[in-house]
A and B are shown apart, each in its own frame.
Chain A
Amino acid sequence: MPPAQFDSDRLNGDRRITMWGAPSTGKTTFLAALSVALLRQNGMAQQENGERAAWRVVGVDKADSDALTTLMKTLAGDRAFPPATTAVEQYRWELVGTVQRTIRVGRFRRERRKETVTIPLDLADAPGGAAAPTLAGHPRWEALLKNMERSKGIVFFFDPVREFTDGDAFSHTFAVVNELSQRMRDRQLPGGRLPHYVAVCIAKFDEIRVFKTAERLGMIEFDTDPPRFPRVPDDEAREFFASLCEVSRSGDAEMVLSMLEQTFQPERIRYFATSAIGFYVDRRSGGVFDPDNFQNHVPGRDKTEPSRIRGSINPVNVVEPMVWLGRNLLKEPAE
């Protein structure tokens, strides 16, 4: 039986995902890396069992697809970082997944069918900070809040490196969460908490200070297969997040964790240590992760030279948050 198409209106209704975070936390890079990672998974899945993997990112129309292609080419081909969110927020992308669902056929019969679902992705926030409290009332601020209000899923980006140097995660988060809670207060929120599923992405896991922190905390596990990349297991990622918050420059980051868990339902929050560009692997010396030589991000020089990517990109944990969100959103009834 050919895969049936979900009723897109019914399914898509409010099943949007908003990608939210302070400026320079890597939202656009994450999106490009997600596309690359999903494409690679597709390729591997097709090689292994002749089937495509479950998810992919697509543009809503041709211009959106072209823009996505450009982002991927910049990241994977040119080994450069895509432009900031402002340049891409006009485009519309969707997370498209093929899922197995049990549906009722007739009065008593149920069937397992492969269904294709689409989940719009909204990139929210822009450099300069629509999420910055000083910009409350700004059109971008309104757009961000509107996106979040109608979304069921949120990818929250936390950049530990930025937090270490700038320490502004709390200030970027607090006003948004407060405003969102205020706008949604008239809905019947279970426990008074917002209903969103929140994937907290601890970004830039490949950065030396982030990786070393995880290493010192004894939270690193390695993939069993080459290139044996390191990961922080998802069940330890919350503790990892908490530890990183402790070294915030402002000292406020610790409140981000409690604020998230007081605002959203804790069981609907999951933490992921992610890296859009992943770790460097020297193909000439075995092609496996080397703890002595893993930096993939080459910082630029002041403002005269942009940051670059040293080797090929190897996204870590970028698919998992989206799949987790996608699966959970599908459980939710459409409004």
Chain B
Amino acid sequence: MEAPESAVLAEMPAGNGPGDRIRERYELVALRRAAGGQLELATIPLFGPGARSGDHRRFRIRCALSDEHGTVFAVAACERPHGHRLMSVQSGQIPPGSYQPTAELVQPGTVSFRDLPVTLREDRRRWGDIVAQIPDRLERVRPTHLILAIETSGVTDHVGERIDRARQLVRRAVDGANGANGADDQLRVSLLSYGPHAVPDREADAQVRTLAWADTSENALTEIAMLAEQGAAPLGYWRAAQLECLLTELASRVSNADGRPVLVTIGSRPAFPARVDLASEIIPCPRKRNWMTAWQFLRENLGFAFGAITDHGRQDEDIWACLGSTAFAPLSAVDPWRFAAKLGLAAATRQTLPLPLIEPEGA
């Protein structure tokens, strides 16, 4: 496949070929990421010379985030050696993701597309205006493992809001992955819930619960919805929550194989200390786990990024200063875009692509 030069793409009305066979190659104009990260125009072959009305062809593309006009499906006729002649421009608001649409040659000069989530409509914008929307480079997000830990015990409204924030963040991370590199499979999501240790000790001690582990964002969102339905667990010991156990368990479980780890903790209470703590007088963790040791391990050995969202919005406790060392926000005032950007879950600005991306072979 040969990339067309944008300079030779002339804006022309869709032309009809004589008879019901076409004499030129018809190609879909798309984008390709060059080795250096630059975006360049490319084409996906649709129909070769001699194709006739009724012929169809299936192909693979990935749609990234688009602006208000949607993703453009532009068909060009290839007139070697004279370059490409634009034949039709249609667009539609297609959610980010991978697609395998089918192109049908309705008649020479007219190509329709199906197997897309929306019906495309004719786009009357000037081709130059569309091309001008193509960013120079693709802001690429590294494969990321987003780990969401939610304190699910306490006041019902607070717990509900925490879960909501988690949902927003996953969606934002998905948007970020799609918007930046058009690959939401670059995002793995884990979901954990936690609460306090049992005090008094004859109550059963609840463990940190893993609801999803390195799963797809879609499955994680399903789990988040189920968590919201369960509602808040009783407050229990009001002074602390088992953050030290959460961090310790992550230290023994997370590997970089699932992507760059990003921990977002959404809660309120501090951790249980490993031993009697004169300053806080919080009862020690029954397993004597030390949150600071685990946190340092996660940061230094696994390169964790840490985001925290707290009910109280304060970082005056050491634990929340550490857990929010990369990004921090109060529960009532989270800017999901900025928060996700700080954690490297998305570009700081919302990158959109006007044309579909060529799906790499084997993707």
Contact = CB atoms under 8 A, between A and B. Distances in A.
The answer to whether A binds B is yes
Interface of A: 79, 208-209, 212, 280, 282, 291-295, 298-299, 301, 305, 308-311
B363 interface: no
22 contacts: A79-B202, A208-B276, A209-B278, A209-B281, A212-B278, A282-B286, A291-B276, A292-B274, A292-B275, A292-B276, A292-B284, A292-B288, A293-B276, A295-B276, A298-B199, A298-B283, A301-B238, A305-B238, A309-B200, A310-B199, A310-B201, A311-B201
B276 A298 contact: no
Interface residues of B: mostly helix, strand, loop or mixed? loop
B113 interface: no
Given A291-B276, A293-B288, A295-B276, A311 B200 contact: yes
Contacts of A291: 276
Contacts of B284: 292-293, 295
Contacts of A294: 276
Interface residues of A: mostly helix, strand, loop or mixed? loop
A282 B201 contact: yes
A209 B276 CA distance: 10
Contact of B278 (A79, A208, A299): A208
A10 B275 CA distance: 54
Interface string B170-182: 0000000000000
Contacts of B275: 292-293
Nearest to B275: A292
Contacts of A282: 201, 286
B281 A295 contact: yes
Nearest to A281: B201
B237 interface: yes
B362 to A, nearest CB: 53
Given A209-B278, A293-B276, A305-B238, A310 B200 contact: yes
B201 A208 contact: no
Nearest to A209: B278
A301 B236 CA distance: 11
A308 B237 CA distance: 10
A229 to B, nearest CB: 15
B286 to A, nearest CB: 7
| Cβ-closest 4 pairs across A and B | A292-B275, A293-B284, A301-B238, A310-B200
Interface in B249-299: 274-276, 278, 281, 283-284, 286, 288
A299 B199 CA distance: 11
B206 to A, nearest CB: 16
A310 B278 contact: no
